[in-house]
C-alpha cells in the first residue's frame, strides 16, 4: 500500500511539473509595468527615400529642439498594392532608406531628443486609407500578418541596434484591430526584438475603445483628430469646451484599462474650419489663426490631465518649409503657441 501511495504521489508531482512547464510555454508573461514619461513630441515625416539622409532634415530637428520638443517620432512609410493585398513592403522611390533612418536617429540623439519609430502603411498609387485594410479569407489574414511582421521586424531590429526609446507597432489599422490573437502575436514578436524600449500602437480616435489588447502594450496611443466645434470661427474658450466630452471619455477609458494615454498624432491644418474635422479640413481657405487657436485650446484643455502623457504634433515635414494651409507649423502663429507651452517662453 505504501508503495502504491508513493507511486501515486510521484505521478502527481510529475504531472504538476509538466503542467507548470506547459503553461510557461503556452502563455506569454504579462508585460512588466513601465513608467511612462511625459512626451513633448512631434512626428517627423517624409514620403521619399533620401529625405532623411539630407542635411536639411537636421534643420528641422534643430527647430523641433528649439521649440521645446523632447521626443521625435520618425515616420517610416511602408506600402501595399491595395487594401486587400497581403504583401506589405518597403517601396523603392518612396520608403525611407536605412541610411536615412540611421542619420535622423543619430542626429536627433545628438541633440538630446528621444526617438520613436512609427511605421505606417500607405496604399500604392491610391488615396485609400490604411484603416480600410481587411480580408474575408482566413488564409489572407494569416498571410498579411506574416508579411506585416516581416516588414516591422526589420525596423524593430534597427531600433534596437540604434538604442531607440520607443516603437509604435502600427498606425490606424482599424480594419485589423479586432484580430486580437494576431496583434498579441505582433506585440510578442516586437518585445522579443526590441526588449529595451517602450511599445505601443496608434489607434484612430474613433476606434481606440474597441481594442481588446491594450494590456499587452505599454500605453494607449491615439491619433487624436477629435471633431470639436461646428464653427468656422470658434473662440479658444469654445474649442476648450468642445474638448470636454472627449476628455471625459478618455479619462474613463484610461482608468478602465489602467493605462496612460499618449496622443501619438494630433494636429490641425491652417485652414478655415480645421477644428470641425481635424484629420482633413472641409475648406482650402488658409486660416493660420484657427490653427493657432486649436493649439492653444488643446494645451489649455489637456495639459493638466493626469491620464495624458502628452502629445506628438502632426507634423514636422523633413524640409522646414511653410505650407500655407498644411499641418506644419514652421514660422506660423501655431509654432509660437507650441514654443510657449513646451519651453515656457
pLDDT at 13: 36
- The radius of gyration of the chain's CA atoms, rounded to the nearest angstrom, is 23
pLDDT at 21: 39
pLDDT at 316: 98
| pLDDT band for position 3 (cuts 50, 70, 90) | very low
pLDDT per position as a tens digit, 252-289: 999 999 999 999 999 999 999 999 999 999 999 999 99
pLDDT at 163: 99
| pLDDT band for position 18 (cuts 50, 70, 90) | very low
pLDDT higher than threshold 90 for residue 2 = no
**Whole-number Cα distances in Å, 5 to 10, 13, 16, 35, 241:** 9, 12, 17, 51, 73
Phi-psi map region of 206: left, alpha, beta (phi>0 left; psi -120 to 50 alpha): alpha
Q: What are phi and psi of 165, to 5 degrees?
A: -85, -25
pLDDT higher than threshold 90 for residue 33 = no
| pLDDT band for position 32 (cuts 50, 70, 90) | low
Instruction: Kindly provide the residue ranges of all beta strands, DSSP E only, lying in the chain, ordered along the sequence.
Output: 41-45, 71-80, 114-123, 166-171, 198-204, 219-223, 261-266, 308-317
pTM metric for this prediction: 0.91
In Å, how far from its chain's centre is CA 229? 25
| pLDDT band for position 15 (cuts 50, 70, 90) | very low
Sequence length of the chain is 345
161: number of Cβ within 10 Å: 11
Task: Find all residues with CB under 8 Å of 217, minimum gap 6, and list them.
Answer: 31, 169, 187, 199, 200, 201, 259
- Out of 3.40.630.40, 3.40.50.2300, 3.20.20.80, 3.40.1170.20, which CATH number does the structure's domain 39-343 have? 3.20.20.80
pLDDT per position as a tens digit, 197-215: 999 999 999 999 999 999 9
pLDDT at 31: 60
pLDDT per position as a tens digit, 150-174: 999 999 999 999 999 999 999 999 9
pLDDT higher than threshold 90 for residue 24 = no
Question: Do the Cβ atoms of 311 and 262 come closer than 8 Å?
Answer: yes
Name the percent of the chain lying above pLDDT 70.
90
Task: Find all residues with CB under 8 Å of 54, minimum gap 6, and list them.
Answer: 318, 319
pLDDT higher than threshold 80 for residue 1 = no
pLDDT at 193: 99
Locate the domains of the chain by residue range.
39-343
pLDDT higher than threshold 90 for residue 232 = yes
pLDDT higher than threshold 60 for residue 10 = no
Grid look-up 517624409 returns 46
Angle (nearest 5°) at CA 171 between 170 and 174: 100
In Å, how far from its chain's centre is CA 326? 20
The Cα–Cα gap between 204 and 202 comes to 7
pLDDT at 36: 95
Question: Do the Cβ atoms of 208 and 222 come closer than 8 Å?
Answer: yes
The DSSP call for residue 96 is P
| Mean of the per-residue pLDDT values of the chain | 92
The Cα–Cα gap between 239 and 242 comes to 5
pLDDT at 7: 40
pLDDT at 274: 99
pLDDT higher than threshold 60 for residue 69 = yes
Q: Span 239-259, mean pLDDT?
A: 99
Amino acid at each position: 500500500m505504501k508503495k502504491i501511495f508513493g507511486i501515486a504521489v510521484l505521478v502527481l508531482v510529475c504531472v504538476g511539473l509538466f503542467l507548470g512547464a506547459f503553461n510557461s510555454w503556452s502563455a506569454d508573461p504579462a508585460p512588466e509595468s513601465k513608467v511612462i514619461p511625459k512626451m513633448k513630441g512631434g512626428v517627423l515625416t517624409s514620403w521619399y527615400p533620401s529625405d532623411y539622409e539630407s542635411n536639411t532634415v537636421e534643420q528641422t530637428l534643430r527647430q523641433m529642439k528649439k521649440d521645446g520638443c523632447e521626443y521625435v517620432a520618425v515616420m517610416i512609410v511602408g506600402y501595399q498594392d491595395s487594401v486587400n493585398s497581403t504583401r506589405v513592403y518597403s517601396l523603392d522611390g518612396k520608403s525611407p532608406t536605412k541610411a536615412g533612418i540611421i542619420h535622423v536617429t543619430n542626429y536627433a540623439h545628438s541633440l538630446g531628443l528621444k526617438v520613436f519609430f512609427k511605421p505606417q502603411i500607405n496604399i500604392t498609387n491610391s488615396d485609400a486609407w490604411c484603416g480600410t485594410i481587411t480580408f474575408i479569407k482566413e488564409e489572407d489574414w494569416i498571410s498579411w500578418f506574416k508579411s506585416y511582421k516581416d516588414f516591422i521586424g526589420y525596423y524593430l531590429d534597427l531600433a534596437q541596434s540604434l538604442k531607440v526609446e520607443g516603437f509604435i507597432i502600427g498606425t490606424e489599422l482599424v480594419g485589423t484591430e479586432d484580430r486580437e490573437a494576431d496583434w498579441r502575436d505582433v506585440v510578442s514578436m516586437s518585445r522579443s526584438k526590441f526588449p529595451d524600449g517602450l511599445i505601443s500602437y496608434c489607434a484612430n480616435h474613433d476606434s481606440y475603445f474597441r481594442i481588446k489588447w491594450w494590456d499587452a502594450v505599454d500605453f494607449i496611443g491615439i491619433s487624436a483628430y477629435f471633431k470639436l466645434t461646428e464653427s468656422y470661427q470658434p473662440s479658444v474658450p469654445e474649442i476648450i469646451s468642445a474638448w470636454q466630452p472627449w476628455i471625459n471619455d478618455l479619462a474613463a477609458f484610461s482608468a478602465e484599462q489602467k493605462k496612460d494615454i499618449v496622443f501619438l498624432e494630433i494636429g490641425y491644418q491652417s485652414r478655415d474650419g480645421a477644428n470641425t474635422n481635424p484629420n482633413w479640413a472641409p475648406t482650402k481657405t488658409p486660416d493660420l489663426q484657427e490653427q493657432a487657436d486649436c493649439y492653444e485650446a488643446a494645451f489649455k484643455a489637456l495639459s493638466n490631465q493626469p491620464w495624458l502623457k502628452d502629445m506628438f504634433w502632426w507634423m514636422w515635414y523633413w524640409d522646414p518649409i511653410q505650407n500655407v494651409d498644411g499641418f506644419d507649423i514652421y514660422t506660423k502663429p501655431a509654432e509660437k503657441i507650441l514654443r510657449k507651452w513646451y519651453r515656457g517662453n
